[in-house]
Amino acid sequence: MNYHWDWGILLSPEPGGTGTYLYYLFIGLGWTLATALAAWVIALSIGSVVGTLRTTPHLWVVRLGNAYVELFRNIPLIVQMFLWFFVVPELLPKGLGDWIKQVPPPWGSYIPAVLCLGLYTSVRVAEQVKAGIQSLSRGQGMAGTALGLTLGQTYRFVLLPMAFRIMLPPLTSEFMNVIKNSSVALTIGLLELTGRARAMQEFSFRVFEAFTAATVIYLMTNLLVVFAMRALEKKVRVPGLISASATAGGH
């Protein structure tokens, strides 16, 4: 192919004057991780609650949980980003909406991106939590009731501690999905890793160096997450179970 590689570009300064292009990309990785981690906190808290509620015997609670899941699962992520960024500030009271629009960059994109990604991922976590709880044998819940525990206590002391340990592998792949999905935030102006690779390509015209560098950084990040989670999985493994490594679909 007729392409002249020039890897030196990574060490030349970027036009913003913050440092080399490589440094510029790593700051992007910082934003990617900051977005993903904050969204993950939201996703894990809401997802655990919704997922748990969907396994309770209360019909209306289950229906409400299902409606929540269907709502966030059937709208593309980028459209949800636009709703949070363009539509929500207009629907709020005028003073608040105007204040939100004044938030300086990068926070003006970071906050809607985190909220959007957090809620989007929460329904996927909710699905995993529900599946995790339902994978436990029915006898466990019954044993809790037989011991005189209330429904809440049964969840707190019997079901959830087991379910979360079983769910760890699918939750790992959801966490990796959050890291990947945070790249959609570039559409509302957040300069995370993919956004910065794209910006670097526009400034320097070095298309493939920029995207190769971003690709390598993503792969290294994935490897780190996988190794860290493997170690955690080993630590919390339930003795006596065949530890199945599940892979979740989607992206």
Partner 1 sequence: MSGYDFDVIQRSWVYLFRDGMTFTLTLTALAMLGGIFFGTLLAMMRLSKFNLLSLVSGSYVNLMRSLPLVLVIFWFFFLVPYIGAWIIGAKDPVRVGSFLSALITFTMFEAAYYCEIMRAGIQSVARGQVWAGYALGLDYWQTMARIVLPQAFRNMLPVLLTQTIILFQDTSLVYVISATDFLGAASKVANRDYRLVEMYTFVAVVYFVISFGLSTLVRQLQGKIAVIR
User: Using the rule CB under 8 A, is 1 a contact of partner 1?
Assistant: yes
- Name which of 90 and 150 has its Cβ closer to partner 1: 90
Instruction: Name beta bridge partners: 20.
Output: 13
Smallest separation (angstroms) from partner 1 to the CB of 194: 5
Smallest separation (angstroms) from partner 1 to the CB of 240: 26
Torsion from C-alpha of 11, 198, 124, 135, nearest 10 degrees: -50
Residues 6 or more apart whose CB falls under 8 angstroms from that of 212 comprise none
Smallest separation (angstroms) from partner 1 to the CB of 144: 31
115 and 89 Cβ atoms separated by less than 8 Å: no
114 vs 27: CA distance, rounded Å = 17
| Cis bond before residue 13 (omega within 30° of 0) | no
Sketch the per residue contact string, 190 through 229, with partner 1: x for CB under 8 A, - otherwise.
----x--xx--x-----xx--x--xx--xx--x-------
137 vs 3: CA distance, rounded Å = 59
The span of 22-30, 141-149, 159-167, 242-250 binding partner 1 (CB under 8 A) equals 242-250
* CA atoms within 13 Å, Cβ hemisphere of 83: 12
Collect contacts of 246-250 with beta carbons under 8 A, ≥24 apart.
246/169, 246/170, 246/173, 247/170, 247/173, 248/124, 248/128, 248/170, 248/173, 248/174, 248/177, 250/124, 250/177
DSSP letter at 135 equals: T
Smallest separation (angstroms) from partner 1 to the CB of 140: 27
158 and 141 Cβ atoms separated by less than 8 Å: yes
Residues 141-170 interacting with partner 1 (rule: CB under 8 A): none
Residues 51-90 interacting with partner 1 (rule: CB under 8 A): 70-71, 73-80, 82-83, 86-87, 90
Residues 104-143 interacting with partner 1 (rule: CB under 8 A): none
Site size toward partner 1 (CB under 8 A) is 46
Contact with partner 1 (CB under 8 A) among 125, 186, 190, 213 = 186
User: Using the rule CB under 8 A, is 251 a contact of partner 1?
Assistant: yes
- Name which of 160 and 188 has its Cβ closer to partner 1: 188
User: Using the rule CB under 8 A, is 95 a contact of partner 1?
Assistant: no
User: Using the rule CB under 8 A, is 3 a contact of partner 1?
Assistant: yes
162 vs 43: CA distance, rounded Å = 20
Residues near partner 1 (CB under 8 A) are 1-3, 70-71, 73-80, 82-83, 86-87, 90-91, 94, 97, 176, 179-184, 186-187, 194, 197-198, 201, 207-208, 211, 214-215, 218-219, 222, 247, 249-251
